[in-house]
Amino acid sequence: MRGWNVGGISAAQHYANGVAAGMESLSQFGEAGVIDNAAVMAYVAAHPLDESSATSALKMINEEYWATNVSLFNFIEAWINWRRTGYPELTPITAPNQFSPGAIPRRIPYQSSESSNNPDNYATAVSRLSNGDTFTSRVWWDVN
- Walking along the chain (144 residues) 10 residues at a time, the average pLDDT comes out as 80 94 93 92 96 94 96 94 93 86 89 95 94 89 72
Measured distance CA(77)–CA(81) in Å, rounded: 6
- Check residue 79 and give its pLDDT: 93
HSE, side-chain direction, 13 A CA sphere, residue 47: 17
- pTM confidence score: 0.80
Instruction: Supply φ then ψ for residue 125, to 5 degrees.
Output: -65, -45
Measured distance CA(82)–CA(65) in Å, rounded: 10
DSSP 61: H
- Check residue 20 and give its pLDDT: 96
- Check residue 5 and give its pLDDT: 75
- Check residue 66 and give its pLDDT: 96
DSSP 26: G
